[in-house]
Amino acid sequence: MQLSDSDGVDTDVSSVAMDQELLAMGSIGAQPTADRPPFAGSAAGLTDADIMLRVKAGDESAFEYLVQKYRRPMVGFMYRMSHNAAAAEDLAQEVFLRVYRSRSGYEASAKFTTWLYRIATNLAVNHARDTRNERPEKMASLDEPDEETGTTMDVADSSLTVEESMVRRERMAAIRAKVQALPERQRVAVLMHKYQQMDYKQIAEVLKLSESATKSLLFRAYETLREQLKEFV
């Protein structure tokens, strides 16, 4: 899977000082103040691409709006890709920093989420390659991590017996392992389709594939999972 940081994302090291200043100011994930009113009230009728164009024009509150909107799903995506809560937080923050650094070159030629997840996928895949020999954290679930900790725990279902709960946990562990073992493109596509609720067209745009190729990719992935997990079906 040939992924790089070439999708209009400026990663010049000269921007590091600006990034640090931005974080110090609290812009990423900051709460609105009296001097910086919330943007959400003026977002009605605007697409995310429209809002990103406002970021390009210098509207800091528009950037904060996008961060608040996508922070949790982005941390969730990065957690499923990295299997590491701390890394997920760091990678999600890096995604938003790259969005901010690239604001001047942004063009609304595709959905904002396509651009956002292309940046995220590039980062996640490169991180996975750089850390492939490191032992991943023990994951509790593929479900979305808690907004603050980046981790999840299976919630006990009082309607299940102890044996049923054990089978459920075993099934979830098997699913995690089999998804992780999929070829890189298939794994990324499944995570975007199943857990980020992205459609074929969006996934195709992120991975730079045709829709038919994306459907074929997901079909092969789900067939593999179905075959390998048939004892749990």
Give the span between the Cα atoms of 22 and 89, in whole angstroms. Answer: 17
Each residue's pLDDT tens digit, 107-136: 988 889 999 999 999 999 898 888 776 655
Each residue's pLDDT tens digit, 140-184: 444 444 443 344 434 445 566 777 677 777 777 778 788 888 998
Q: Is there a common fold for 1-146 and 154-233? A: no
Top CATH class of 154-233 equals mainly alpha
- Position 111 scores a pLDDT of 87
State the residue for tokens 């829709």. 211
- The burial class, CB within 10 Å (0-12 / 13-18 / 19+), for 7 is middle
State the residue for tokens 């479900």. 143
Each residue's pLDDT tens digit, 77-109: 999 888 889 999 999 999 999 999 999 999 988
- Position 169 scores a pLDDT of 76
> At residue 36, what are phi and psi to the nearest 5 degrees?
-135, 85
Each residue's pLDDT tens digit, 196-208: 889 999 999 999 9
Closest residue by Cα to residue 82 from 120, 51, 111, 110: 120
- Position 213 scores a pLDDT of 96
Confidence of residue 188 (pLDDT cuts 50, 70, 90): very high
Q: Please calculate the CA angle 61-65-67 and round it to the nearest 5 degrees.
A: 115
Residue 41 one-letter amino acid = G
Each residue's pLDDT tens digit, 33-69: 444 455 655 677 889 999 999 999 999 999 999 999 9
- Position 135 scores a pLDDT of 54
Sign (positive or negative) of CA dihedral 48, 2, 4, 176: positive
- Position 83 scores a pLDDT of 83
Distances (CA, A) of 9 to 30, 96, 108, 169: 23, 11, 14, 40
Distances (CA, A) of 212 to 77, 89, 186, 203: 24, 33, 14, 11
- Going from N- to C-terminal start, the domains of the chain cover 1-146, 154-233
Residue 176 one-letter amino acid = R
> 231: which strand partners?
none
Strand residues in 3-135 grouped as ranges (E): none
Domain 1-146 grouped into CATH 1.10.1740.10: yes
- Position 131 scores a pLDDT of 78
Cα-Cα end-to-end distance for the chain: 31
Distances (CA, A) of 114 to 111, 174, 205: 5, 30, 6
